[in-house]
Amino acid sequence: MSEQGGDPVVWRVHPSLMGRAGVLWTLVVLSVGGAWLAWLVGPTETRAVHAAVATGIIAALSLIWWLVLLRPRVELRDEVVVIVNPLATHRVRREDIVAVTDGLYGAEFHRKDGFKIHAVALGDATAGIRGGRLVEVRKALAL
């Protein structure tokens, strides 16, 4: 962030996880396309049902992908930290944060009043980079 209150610092789900999910999503989309192509070549009721089920699967997978991978983020603004999780958004004043620790499903932001807020966007245990990102967040918050 700049001294004049510039752009916020933003952390999202690690790109390696996004890439893996993108490959899976692409394979599912291709299978849906194949199901509809098979129905176009030989329109039968069974193929239509298969294509409709495949379309429902891609819709559900897209929603899950958006909720779990695209939506979560942590934004460090001048006076506020915005933590966007799959189903909730938290805004915490920077001075209310006393510690940032490693949690089961991501980083835990400890507040002065004793409550904790989990940040799913910093929960990249499988990518092997969780510790480095926590150090970056602590450094940005001066903890």
The 10s digit of each residue's pLDDT in 33-42 is 999 999 999 9
**Does residue 3 belong to any structural domain of this protein?**
no
Of the candidates 133, 113, 130, 124, the residue with the CA atom closest to the CA atom of residue 17: 124
Q: Please report the pLDDT score of residue 95 as a whole number.
A: 94
Q: How many domains does the chain have?
A: 2
Q: Is the pLDDT of residue 32 over 60?
A: yes
Asked if the structure places residue 65 within a domain, the reply is yes
- Which of these three, 47, 70, 93, is where a domain ends? 70
- 1 domain residue, yes or no: no
Least confident interval from 34-38, 87-91, 130-134:
130-134
Provide the domain limits for residue 118. Answer: 74-141
Rounded-to-integer distance, Cα 9 and Cα 30, Å? 36
